[in-house]
Amino acid sequence: MTVLVCVEDRLGQSFHGKRLSRDRALCARIAAAASGRALLRMSPYSQPLFPNTPLLASEDYLDQAEPGEWCFVEREDLAAYEEKIERIVLYRWERTYPFDQTFAIPVQGEGWRLVSQEGFAGFSHEKITEEVYERV
């Protein structure tokens, strides 16, 4: 599976179980990229961010995800799913926000390699950086 995760500068992922921020241009980018290529899964909490986008929302979406499927992750700790993950796409907000949950997979360490990095303008964020990591 490919996981898509938004993080702030220090890899903060959520605060008290809520998203740190959101950007409608980023959601449109993800929906367009997934269209026709991969099944997009997420929790019901995230579903309102993707109106009119074909997706599967369920509480156990990470357990259900198959190879090649995409999972948009906001609040879940991915450490238990690391073996299932083929690719990681981090969307960096280029800002700092309060957080109490961090992205826990050490992509800078052994086992992962950065294969692409691209900055783009969001709607509410001047710059968002997309980093794509693949398992080595």
List domains and CATH numbers for the chain: 2-135 (3.40.430.10)
- Residue 30 has which token pair? 């993800």
Beta pairing partners, 89: 4, 132
Residue 49 makes CB contacts below 8 A (sequence gap 6+) with: 22, 27, 72
Digit-coded pLDDT (tens) for 29-50:
999 998 877 789 999 999 999 9
Beta strands across the sheet bearing 18-19 = 18-19, 12-15, 101-102
Mean pLDDT of the residues in the chain: 94
Q: Residues 4-22: pLDDT tens digits?
A: 999 999 999 999 989 999 9
pTM: 0.95
Q: And the tokens for 59?
A: 């509480």
